[in-house]
Amino acid sequence: MSVFDQPDRRRIVARTPALSCLLFAAGIALAGETSVERSGNGVDLLQDTTDEGDARSSETSAAAEGLVEAVSAHEHDVPLADAVDTAEGQAAPLTLLGDEVPPGSSKRLSWSATELFEGVPVSTPVLVVNGAQPGPTLCLTAAVHGDELNGIEIVRRVLHDVDPERLSGALIGVPIVNVQGFRRGSRYLPDRRDLNRYFPGNPDGSAAARIAHALFSSVIAHCDALVDLHTGSFERANLPQIRADLRNPDVVTLTLGFGSMVVLHSEPTAGTLRHAATMAGIPAVTVEAGGPSQLEPAEVKHGAKGIETLLGTLGMVRKMRLWADPEPVYYRSSWVRADNGGILLANVSLGSSVRKGDLLGTITDPMSNVSSEVRSPHSGRVIGMARNQVVMPGFAAFHVGIQAVVEEETAPEPTQEPAHGGYVDGMSE
């Protein structure tokens, strides 16, 4: 495609992770209510729904190493924050998916990920805007899980609102990555695999690994930075938030660029698109906004505004969007689980500030009419929660971003190690 195939553009890469703590200190100070401990999900792990959960790492590892090395071979030591200022020469045509997008223009391309069992190709649109001025290439992906609709609309709004003549660099949008799941209204691929556990993929592997490899090699590998859009899973909704590895300075640059959006520090799980991109030297963040299976206008507006703000912060567009006070940065979070089964009725909403011991909701047995309370074990903010529904004991009901307690020098709780590909119930990514 563009930046990496053209000699007058610069490849962007994240380096010196230890610097990120210093770089993010300013953001933490501005946020007010923050946490200084490392992220821990506080949730159990869900068994992989396929028989190949333990084999995925070996399935993709060899191909991943080769692909990552190929992408990393073109790296230049240009911080993402300086990508526009250091871009040299004139904007070049952007070559992607066998097509060419001239500077100062936009085009709709097509990416074929795989075939249906009938042998009919499955394709999805790729929206490309190549700016009139040189700069970095930012990629937006959505619907890696097929039932996550908010990201599709966010990508559409952002891409169609950008003027190529006023853009420095390029913007690539893949609104529907998992087109098979999207057509079925399902989070998963038809074989029940979670596509976001197979990146960067394998051209000779399972269907999921082949789709992941096709996307990563033909689109993602040509980008300088990535924003992967998601929602909550299994009837859970997330407060608009950025999940990012804050040890990486270029990832920090991305998080600071979004403006007023909660940031949750989390190290990407192997197999996710965010992890694969980061390993290839492409700084990446995940944006979580809302819940699955429906379009939520407020969350879509918030996500689109955040990305438009990011474009301005990076210098890719010359306009400023003023937001309210910066949102908190949380280095630690915890899911609060139901101890009893029954009908869950929430007493809080997304974004609510809570204190330790506050009532989050009640669970009522519809047969005996006996109710139990769900209370917050921490002070902080509700950044994710289940929609009112029937729940089972152990169901992850409320996600609390934990507020720092400066007076207490307590050690952070140990982070649970992911198993079966790193899937954690309640965590969409």
CB 108 within 8 A of CB 127: yes
Q: Where are the domains of the chain?
A: 19-35+51-313, 333-411
Provide the pLDDT for residue 13.
34
Token pair, residue 358, equals: 């506050």
For the four alpha carbons of 381, 384, 388 and 389, in that order, the dihedral sign comes to negative
Distance CA 193, CA 52 (A): 9
Q: Quote the strand ranges of 50-146, DSSP E.
A: 94-96, 99-101, 105-115, 121-130, 133-141
Pick the CATH number of 19-35+51-313 from 3.40.630.10, 3.10.620.30, 3.40.50.300, 3.30.565.10: 3.40.630.10
pLDDT, the chain, mean: 81
Residue 83 has pLDDT above 90, yes or no: no
Q: Per-residue pLDDT averaged across 119-129, rounded? A: 87
Residue 74 phi, psi dihedral angles, 5° rounding: -100, 15
Nearby residues of 331 by Cβ (< 8 Å), 6 or more positions away: 34, 35, 36, 37, 38, 39, 246, 265, 404, 412
pLDDT band at 65 (very low <50, low <70, confident <90, very high): low
- Give counts: helices (H), strands (E), the chain: 9, 19
Least confident of 48-52, 101-105, 175-179, 263-267: 48-52
pLDDT band at 6 (very low <50, low <70, confident <90, very high): very low
- Which one has a higher pLDDT value, 88 or 279? 279
Percent of the chain with pLDDT over 90: 66
Q: What is the tens place of the pLDDT at every residue in 231-251?
A: 999 899 999 999 999 999 999
Residue 67 phi, psi dihedral angles, 5° rounding: -70, -45
Q: Per-residue pLDDT averaged across 290-305, rounded? A: 96
Strand (E) or helix (H) holding 385: strand 380-386
Rg (CA), the chain: 21
Percent of the chain with pLDDT over 70: 74
Distance CA 129, CA 112 (A): 20
CB 350 within 8 A of CB 342: no
Closest Cα partner for 52 from 425, 421, 424?
Answer: 421
pLDDT band at 322 (very low <50, low <70, confident <90, very high): low
Provide the pLDDT for residue 68.
57
Tokens 């911080």 label which residue? 79
Residue 184 has pLDDT above 80, yes or no: yes
Q: What is the tens place of the pLDDT at every residue in 375-413?
A: 999 999 999 999 999 999 999 999 999 987 544 444 444
Q: What is the tens place of the pLDDT at every residue in 91-104?
A: 899 999 999 999 99
The CA angle 350-266-188, to the nearest 5 degrees, is 75
Provide the pLDDT for residue 116.
67
Q: Per-residue pLDDT averaged across 246-266, rounded? A: 93
Architecture of domain 333-411 in CATH?
Beta Barrel (2.40)
pLDDT band at 122 (very low <50, low <70, confident <90, very high): confident
Least confident of 175-189, 205-219, 315-329: 315-329
Residue 38 has pLDDT above 90, yes or no: no
Residue 424 has pLDDT above 60, yes or no: no
pLDDT band at 371 (very low <50, low <70, confident <90, very high): very high
Least confident of 20-29, 162-171, 193-202, 218-227: 20-29
Residue 337 phi, psi dihedral angles, 5° rounding: -105, 155
Residue 53 has pLDDT above 50, yes or no: no
